[in-house]
Amino acid sequence: MITAENLRKRYGSKTAVDGISFQLAPGKVTGFLGPNGSGKSTTMRMAVGLDKPTSGSVTIGGKSFPQHAAPLRTVGAVLDAGATHPGRTGRGHLQVLAATHKISKKRVDEVIELTGLGAASRKRIKSYSLGMNQRLGIAAALLGDPAVLIFDEPVNGLDPEGVRWVRSLARDMAAEGRTVFVSSHLMSEMSQTADHLIVLGQGRIIADAPIGQLLDSGEQRVLVRTEKPADLRRALGAEGVSIEQTDAETLEVTGLDARSIGRRALETQVVLHELTPQRSTLEDEYMKLTGEHVEYRSGGQEDRS
Ligand SMILES: Nc1ncnc2c1ncn2[C@@H]1O[C@H](COP(=O)(O)OP(=O)(O)OP(=O)(O)O)[C@@H](O)[C@H]1O
């Protein structure tokens, strides 16, 4: 269980994390989603004691990270895949980590197997591809068999096979009852991995909900095609209903469901060629949620913070 209470981090005049509170449940993958610079890494770094909160707290199982007697057995984190000794082999790196944390050599073999490092574990880390480095980082995180896993943008730079592997690993770990916290700036990524989402924008939480609920919260649009769009418009017009004509025969209606639209069309004798509810995608919801909170936009807009 990870709990943040009024967690805040300032760097000089810059507020990276602006008083956020959340609680992550075990047995689930919680996605931590937000545009670049929204404060995800800073939050995760504070969770594992690499940064100190300016105020507020973040605890794991009720204790701050440094208060845990055996942190590696409590939390496995992949925050910076590059933090290894390039001259060592992957196996050597894991063995040193295991020895300093009183973890058996057998466990080293297990995590090598689990992360698919295989024969590559006997090669020097400096020869590793990004994907192998990422697997090594995850192997190190799993060494202590921790109940909590924190992965910061784990699929960045991975090939499709690597991406699938990280996703299924995160799901498997949650299915074993662990608390899994995974960050990404891509909704498409999160929608395939996470059960629950915490969406961050400019250091603040803008959504904290199960994935399904985020989808359902979207306003439903219905696409309607008819030869008489003007007549249908008149039949549907009412307070709370908005109608947009997108071409000569097509209307997009918000504020009425397909059943009501069909009924009113029948009452007014307007023939419909199509009546299709448009389910908004998670991507749409994410864009809507974060639209106000993006720090750096494509198209050269200035920093809005
Ligand atoms: N050590 C630091 N000194 C000053 N500012 C920092 C520092 N670390 C982060 N920041 C700033 O804090 C804000 C949040 O950064 P953070 O890296 O936590 O965001 P993020 O959501 O993880 O983004 P990204 O996906 O780009 O890593 C950014 O504006 C960043 O520039």
- Tell me the per-residue pLDDT of 148-191, one tens digit each, with 9 for 90 and over: 999 999 888 788 888 899 999 999 999 999 999 999 988 878 88
The pLDDT assigned to 191 comes to 83
ipTM: 0.95
CATH topology of domain 2-209: Rossmann fold (3.40.50)
Instruction: For residue 187, report the distance from its CA to the centre of ligand 1, in Å.
Output: 19
Is the beta carbon of 42 within 6 A of some atom in ligand 1? Answer: yes
Asked if pLDDT for residue 273 goes beyond 90, the answer is yes
Is the beta carbon of 8 within 6 A of some atom in ligand 1? Answer: no
Domain boundaries defined on the chain = 2-209, 221-279
The pLDDT assigned to 302 comes to 40
Is the beta carbon of 201 within 6 A of some atom in ligand 1? Answer: no
Name the least confident of 68-72, 76-80, 144-148: 68-72
- Tell me the per-residue pLDDT of 182-224, one tens digit each, with 9 for 90 and over: 999 888 788 889 999 999 988 999 889 998 787 666 667 899 9
- 221-279 carries CATH number 1.10.150: no
How does residue 289 score in pLDDT terms, banded at 50, 70 and 90? confident
List the beta bridge partners of residue 223: 252, 276
Instruction: For residue 37, report the distance from its CA to the centre of ligand 1, in Å.
Output: 5
- Tell me the per-residue pLDDT of 58-67, one tens digit each, with 9 for 90 and over: 999 888 888 8
Pocket test residue of 13, 14, 50 for ligand 1, highest count of atoms within 8 A of CB: 14
Residues in the chain: 305
- pTM value is 0.79
